[in-house]
Chains A and B, each alone.
Chain A
């Protein structure tokens, strides 16, 4: 694997100053994407700033109808948190289906959001709940944060510290997993709030995670699978690859949205 200088940062402030003094440094969170990317020589940073042991970046707290999750909280910690299983089971279920058990012991929510893989699961939950991404310098609304495949509003050297997701009245995440990679071929997160329904789709679009606004309008009117049955999803701009073409993914978006609504109840 490509060599890089390793630094362990135990606080966000340390991580920020280590990043600032590195020539071409990147944060190392759980490393479940970054290390394979470096092995494949698709990334060659000069320095790695390991924040996986920064205690202030871990933890799950529920208050005022929202859950705040520290950026270095692992998928397995989210999946197995008993308070969250009661308050927001759809999020635990999503986290418990990312990768495999060993990957979930290392991979983090902050790492997933910073990477913004177009087929990652967490971006769908964060966008569908209208969450707020907090960094060491500011708060960013999910609607402004995701800016296309592997692209986010994060600036050079900015560090995600936590994400706060408003807890929906009902929610469900439907994932049609690509069986070899365990990424979502298409994933749909539906979240129902007193003031309306939000629907976010991952895995489908060449622009990464996005909202399906026609479905949001229809479901806000009537929260039932039939409400989306007659909507048309265009295959334009959808990912086409050997696992499924754009038309196939377009159909999955609709089918999975209906199933998510039924399961959310």
Chain B
């Protein structure tokens, strides 16, 4: 067992976890923040993407103990009263159907927009599609997801 402490969505949290606890298990089962999903548990699908110290990572492929001391943001933490521009863009563009992949898509989308902005690079459609390599959607065919991220990129 290890004692871990981190900041999740701006709030300090702590937990006593078995050493093999994955970050996504800590988020879902200890903190009961079930917006972060587990689609594959094998680093393929991206449903579990959260931000750790400002960077998108797959929370099924990181130990909770490795995030000790970190700042973590999950889908529950992105809206600030109003929906985040990325959430609103998914809503506007019908960027989801069943919604299972959506939390990961939004967290990856926010991360890619921020990275491209800070590097001064243009996030065009080809770049969005390339950046979504690690996020799988079984419903939408990606088209509206790409449109959503492009819209949000103009607003963020």
Contacts and interface: CB of A to CB of B under 8 A. Distances in A.
B56 to A, nearest CB: 5
Given A35-B62, A102-B57, A106-B62, A3 B20 contact: yes
Given A8-B68, A35-B62, A36-B42, A102 B108 contact: yes
A48 interface: yes
A3 B63 CA distance: 11
A59 interface: no
Contact of B19 (A5, A32, A76): A5
Interface string A95-118: 000011111011000000000000
Interface residues of B, number: 30
A2 B63 CA distance: 12
A182 B135 CA distance: 13
A72 to B, nearest CB: 12
Contacts of B82: none
Nearest to B41: A39
Nearest to B53: A105
Contacts, number: 80
Contacts of A105: 52, 55-57
B22 interface: yes
A102 B66 contact: no
Contacts of A8: 65-66, 68
Given A1-B22, A105-B56, A6 B65 contact: yes
B63 A35 contact: yes
Interface in A107-146: none
Contacts of B62: 31, 35, 106
Interface in A1-60: 1-6, 8, 28, 31-32, 35-36, 38-39, 48, 50, 52-53
B108 A1 contact: no
Contact of B112 (A1, A32, A101): A101
A80 interface: yes
A105 B59 CA distance: 12
B71 interface: no
Contacts of B57: 102, 105-106
Contacts of B58: 102-103, 106
Residue among A52, A99, A103 facing the most chain B CB atoms (10 A cut-off): A103
Interface string B108-135: 1001100100010000000000010111
Contacts of A4: 19-20
A18 to B, nearest CB: 13
Interface of B: 2, 18-20, 22, 41-43, 46, 49, 52, 55-58, 61-63, 65-66, 68, 108, 111-112, 115, 119, 131, 133-135
Closest 6 CB pairs of A and B: A100-B134, A6-B19, A105-B55, A3-B20, A100-B133, A6-B65
